Amino acid sequence: MKNILWVDDDLMIEKMVLMYKKKFNVSDVNLIFVHDGNQALDIMKEQSFDIVLLDLNMPVCSGYEFLKRLDHSQLPKSTEIIICSSSSANEDISATKKYGVNEYITKPFDISKLFERISVNKDFS
């Protein structure tokens, strides 16, 4: 089972993802949602995750602030960080790479493809 931390302040995305998970009986994914980078940093002190899905534009603690404050040396090497952002700006995409981000997905995205990618650990496309 994949343990996934989803960091996004958009409650509609959370509802949509949970509805999809329930409708299609996705049982190989354990999802935990938090709504800002501070909450994510706190929970990551207690648990490890296979994948962190991260929005960049959030109040309180943005995705960028989260990436700056994250202690990458404490992450399991297998942990993937995937940006899910409405920004398709090249500056944002290239700026996140310096923080070891594995992938950058722009919103809106196809939830079924995202779950497929998560389940079989392949690139999102």
Which residue is associated with the tokens 């994949």?
2
Q: Which pLDDT value is given to residue 13?
A: 93
Burial group, residue 49, by CB count within 10 angstroms (0-12, 13-18, 19+): buried
Ordered structural domains, the chain, with CATH: 2-120 (3.40.50.2300)
What is the per-residue pLDDT across 28-52, written as a single tens digit (0 to 9) for each?
889 999 999 999 999 999 999 999 9
Residue bearing the bigger pLDDT, 1 or 121: 1
8 A C-beta contact, residue 6 and residue 14:
yes
